[in-house]
Amino acid sequence: MTPMAKNIPEVKVDCRSESMSITVESPAGMFDGMIYPRGLGRNSSCMSLYTQATSPVSYNLPLSACNTMSSNMDDGTIEYYNTIVVQPHRKLVTSQGKGFHVRCRYTTREKMITNDINVNMLEPTMLLGTAPMPGCSMVIYQGDHVAQNVKIGEQLTLVVSIDAQEVYAMRLSHCSVTDATNSASQPLIDDFGCAVDPEIMGPFQYSEDGNSARVDFQAHKFPYTDSVYYHCNVHLCLKADNGCPPPPDCSNGRKKRQADEGSPATIEVYSGLYVNEANDLSRPEQFDLVAREKALDNPNNICVSQRNFAIGIAIAGLILMLLVIAAFVILLARRRGKKDISSGSSIYSGPYTNTAYSHSS
């Protein structure tokens, strides 16, 4: 084993219901440093500091924050993954720090639900005793693909669904978006199931069978982190005997609170993705558009965009340089003209005679 391999800490992952419990064992027996998700090592609640801690040390990584992302697998499971940095210094980032890709896989749906379940409308209570709760998931799509890394303003679709079956339907409430550290939050859907700000996200559209709901929106983010997380409360209701309330009617301020009494379960679902700054925000054309809009507010104002201002400065500098060159050429021409005139005069160069001291003999 090489000396470098001996210094690599050993990392173990314990998959829990709402987090990944990570154990880091240092070869030195003591750990004096920090552990944090990649990209969140500065002033982050996701970072943990350790001062001469006895190895092994424990680090808790939540599934719904701190840059932990998820992916739906083909076998019906869902995998949560992240990259953590184990840095053996409490203040500095050194070459001794190591990155570890950690992941946990969870079962999301009950295999007991099949098409062989006999739904007896006369005995719904007996069915409740035998039918398990359906699995519930939230997926964010960009077109036909699952969205993982997008730009601000791109069109996305958020879909919340439960497993296909004939017993339960679902209704949504209390949806919100949070940043990577849970330090900032913006409500999206209120407890009535209505949109809080339709400019950010509109109301959900429910399927006819009540097993899914979807909404289209444009990607957005918080200023200081690139990852965002969407959360929703899913209320299960019985399809039999009209046990499910109709989808909320939020038009003209009409709102009716969705009843939770008698609901078999309320499940919180969440999903995250990375949102980057759009390149369009830095294009000069955008500054031109802003300048034009401001100019319309006051016709007496003269607004110049940054691009046109830079072009004007360059042209003015070029004109000034040409004027300096022209002045230099004119001055040089005048000096040459004076020299040519003075070269035609005669200068006496005979012997010097001082008349004050001359005398005749």
274-296 pLDDT per residue, tens: 999 866 444 444 434 333 434 44
> For residue 198, what are its two tokens?
């339709």
Tally of CB atoms within 10 A around 286: 13
Banded pLDDT at 107 (limits 50, 70, 90) = confident
- What single string gives the DSSP state of each residue in 279-333? GGGGSHHHHHHHHHHHHHH-TT-----HHHHHHHHHHHHHHHHHHHHHHHHHHHH
Residues 137 and 241 in one domain: yes
pLDDT digits (tens, 9 = 90+) for 169-179: 999 999 999 99
Task: Look at residue 113 in the predicted model and tell me its pLDDT.
Answer: 33
Residues 291 and 315 in one domain: yes
Residues 58 and 98 in one domain: yes
- Stretch 254-265: mean pLDDT, rounded? 59
Task: Look at residue 108 in the predicted model and tell me its pLDDT.
Answer: 65
Residues 128 and 273 in one domain: yes
User: In this structure, is residue 360 part of a structural domain?
Assistant: no
pTM score of the predicted model:
0.67
Task: Look at residue 253 in the predicted model and tell me its pLDDT.
Answer: 61
What is the distance between the alpha carbons of residues 164 and 111, in angstroms, rounded to a whole number?
12
Task: Look at residue 340 in the predicted model and tell me its pLDDT.
Answer: 56
pLDDT of 3 strictly over 90 = no
pLDDT digits (tens, 9 = 90+) for 144-171: 999 999 999 999 999 999 998 888 999 9
Residues 60 and 97 in one domain: yes
Tokens 């092994």 correspond to: 56
Per the prediction, the chain carries an average pLDDT of: 79
Tokens 């309320």 correspond to: 266
Alpha carbon distance, N-terminus to C-terminus of the chain: 122
Of 65-69, 130-134, 227-231, the poorest mean pLDDT is in 130-134
Residues 220 and 269 in one domain: yes
Task: Look at residue 265 in the predicted model and tell me its pLDDT.
Answer: 81
Exposed / middle / buried, residue 52 (Cβ in 10 Å: 0-12, 13-18, 19+):
exposed
Task: Look at residue 346 in the predicted model and tell me its pLDDT.
Answer: 44
- The CATH number that applies at residue 139 is 2.60.40.4100
Banded pLDDT at 254 (limits 50, 70, 90) = low
pLDDT of 120 strictly over 80 = no
Residues 157 and 304 in one domain: no
Task: Look at residue 128 in the predicted model and tell me its pLDDT.
Answer: 38
Tokens 């030195």 correspond to: 28
Per cent of the chain over pLDDT 70 is 73
Domain that holds residue 320: 283-330
Banded pLDDT at 256 (limits 50, 70, 90) = low
How many structural domains does the chain have? 3
- Stretch 313-339: mean pLDDT, rounded? 86
pLDDT of 143 strictly over 70 = yes
Beta-bridged to residue 270, according to DSSP, are 231
Cα Rg of the chain, angstroms: 38
Among 115-124, 239-248, 275-284, which range has the highest average pLDDT?
A: 239-248
What is the distance between the alpha carbons of residues 163 and 117, in angstroms, rounded to a whole number?
14
Contact 306, 284 (CB under 8 A): yes
What is the distance between the alpha carbons of residues 81 and 103, in angstroms, rounded to a whole number?
4
Tally of CB atoms within 10 A around 98: 15
Residues 156 and 184 in one domain: yes
User: In this structure, is residue 338 part of a structural domain?
Assistant: no
